[in-house]
Amino acid sequence: MTRAHRFPVRVYFEDTDAGGVAYHANYLRWAERARTESLRSMHLPHALLMERYNAMLVVRRIEVAYVRPARLDEPLIVETRVRAMGAATLDLDQLVLREADGAELARLAVGLVCVRGASGGGTEDLRPARIPEPWRSALAELVSGGAAA
């Protein structure tokens, strides 16, 4: 994907350890917020996916490479790119960058799966399901080369 969604965050005191360095789990929180906001920026919020289709995109795997530490009060940018899409799956690359100089702080490879029955409570709960329209078309446009896998 040539286009990346950019989401700003700042490292707050609550995000750091005693040395003022961002705790590793916060990168996952920032990445989750960035994924949510990337859908919202396309006018396809996750809440609408849940409401209309009783479906949601959930993390099936995530890999994080920590490159440099984020520190107290630093403004950061989380970039989200769609790498590949299958019938029910979505693979993303996310970068956490220091806003001031663009230094790469962390790289995330995220695998999502669309599941249905999230609120029903029946035997079909959380089973993989095809990503519904219009999410499918909007996300397919963002895949490298413009075609879904």
Catalytic residues: 17
Q: Measuring CA to CA, which residue among 92, 63, 102, 89 is closest to residue 1?
A: 92
Amino acid at site 30? W
Dist CA 85 CA 26 (whole Å): 26
Binning the chain into helix, strand and coil, the percentages to the nearest 5 are 25, 40, 35
Q: Which H/E stretch holds residue 98?
A: strand 89-98
Q: Are 50 and 56 in contact (CB under 8 A)?
A: yes
Strand partners, 64: 108
